[in-house]
């Protein structure tokens, strides 16, 4: 009997070559399930495939996807096992339902000096702690797009946590990206490092700054969002496949459309909004104090926590 080709990636489907696959991914059709539930004519229209070919691809995708049913309590058991990284602040941990979650993307947005990077540093130290001490017992990949990674600050926080500062720094793999291509590649090629070095936290600080400076003007927006979408989906895939946490920081703009309340809006549009599992809005208060607002979470109510940025790191 001839062996059936197993269908795992888009390219394994009939009529989908590497170019079409890449195009589909960039448009959000990044797995077989999404192809299986797509309408053939719609797929044909956006990808440039013939309708017949699209229909074949959709049929094959349908056959290849089997649904697995799990009971609610099975899912609940798995969720309890999911790791969380403590933020250093009990208030903030409580707001988050325990800390920054693995298998998910957590976004912090806010104005300059609101503490986004500092929280990233604290998580970089804490992710390395064993699970029973609020960590994920792994190493950290830090994608620095703004040149603001500070090893001495990591050492200072590590010391305060009673860890060996040198050992903590040795477990941080820093990529200084100065173009969106470098930023994207750092994540595309992360699989091996993640596996070989047991990376449990990926920080992207910041997600949008290079995208914003490279893709200027309305005309470039479509291309920017396509690239961004595929970048974020790769981050999500790493989080899913390796049970790791992703922490991204984001910039803000004033949204003149909002007449009441705080007009501060994160940049990146719907793509970032949908991709981030949990969104935190950070803002400055008096002196060391920062207010962190949980704006979006799959399972926790909206709310606020007050934290402090101290010499020893994030505290209550």
Binding of ligand GTP by 309 (CB under 6 A): yes
- Residue (60 or 154) nearer to ligand GTP, CB: 154
What number of CA atoms fall less than 13 Å from residue 104's CA on the CB side?
Answer: 21
Please state the closest distance from residue 268 (CB atom) to ligand GTP, in A.
14
Of ligand GTP, Mg ion, none, which one sits near residue 39, judging by CB under 5 to 8 A according to partner kind?
A: none
Site string for ligand GTP, 135-174 (x = CB under 6 A): -------------x----x---------------------
Through-space distance between the first and last CA atoms of the chain, rounded to whole angstroms: 65
Contact 173, 139 (CB under 8 A): yes
Considering only 6-14, 60-68, 107-115, 272-280, which stretch makes contact with ligand GTP by CB under 6 A?
107-115
Query: According to CB under 6 A, which one of 40, 110, 266, 268 is a site residue for ligand GTP?
Result: 110
Binding of ligand GTP by 88 (CB under 6 A): no
- Residue (229 or 251) nearer to ligand GTP, CB: 251
Please state the closest distance from residue 267 (CB atom) to ligand GTP, in A.
12
Structure token pair of residue 119: 């929280």
289-296 vs 104-110, strand pairing mode: unpaired
- Residue (115 or 134) nearer to Mg ion, CB: 115
DSSP-based three-state secondary structure for 308: strand
Structure token pair of residue 46: 């956006």
Binding of Mg ion by 117 (CB under 5 A): yes
Alpha helices by DSSP H, listed for the chain, are 18-26, 32-36, 40-47, 51-64, 72-81, 90-95, 116-126, 151-160, 165-170, 180-188, 190-197, 209-214, 221-242, 269-275
Binding region for ligand GTP (CB under 6 A): 110, 112-118, 148, 153, 309-311
């Amino acid at each position: 009997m001839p062996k059936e080709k197993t269908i795992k990636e888009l390219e394994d489907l009939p009529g989908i070559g590497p170019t079409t696959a890449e195009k589909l991914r960039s448009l959000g059709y990044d797995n077989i399930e999404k192809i299986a539930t797509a309408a053939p004519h719609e797929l044909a229209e956006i990808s440039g495939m013939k309708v017949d070919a699209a229909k074949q691809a959709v049929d094959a995708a349908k056959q290849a996807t089997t649904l697995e049913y799990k009971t609610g309590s099975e899912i609940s058991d798995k969720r309890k096992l999911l790791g969380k990284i403590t933020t250093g602040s009990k208030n903030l941990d409580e707001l988050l339902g325990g800390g920054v979650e693995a298998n998910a993307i957590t976004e912090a947005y806010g104005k300059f000096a609101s503490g986004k990077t500092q929280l990233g540093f604290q998580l970089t130290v804490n992710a390395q702690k064993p699970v029973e001490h609020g960590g994920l017992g792994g190493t950290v990949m830090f994608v620095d797009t703004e040149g603001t990674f500070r090893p001495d600050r990591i050492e200072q926080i590590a010391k305060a946590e009673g860890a060996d500062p040198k050992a903590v720094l040795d477990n941080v793999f820093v990529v200084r990206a100065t173009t969106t291509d470098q930023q994207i590649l750092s994540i595309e090629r992360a699989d091996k490092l993640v596996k070989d070095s047991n990376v449990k936290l990926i920080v992207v600080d910041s997600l949008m700054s290079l995208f914003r400076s490279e893709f200027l003007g309305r005309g470039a927006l479509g291309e920017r969002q396509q690239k961004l979408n595929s970048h974020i989906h790769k981050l999500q895939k790493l989080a899913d496949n390796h049970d790791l946490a992703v922490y991204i920081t984001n910039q803000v703009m004033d949204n003149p459309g909002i007449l009441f309340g705080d007009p501060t809006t994160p940049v990146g549009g719907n793509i970032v909004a949908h991709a981030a599992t949990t969104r935190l809005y950070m803002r400055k208060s008096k002196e060391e104090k920062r207010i962190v607002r949980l704006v979006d979470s799959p399972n926790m109510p909206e709310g606020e926590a007050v934290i402090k940025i101290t010499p020893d790191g994030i505290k209550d």
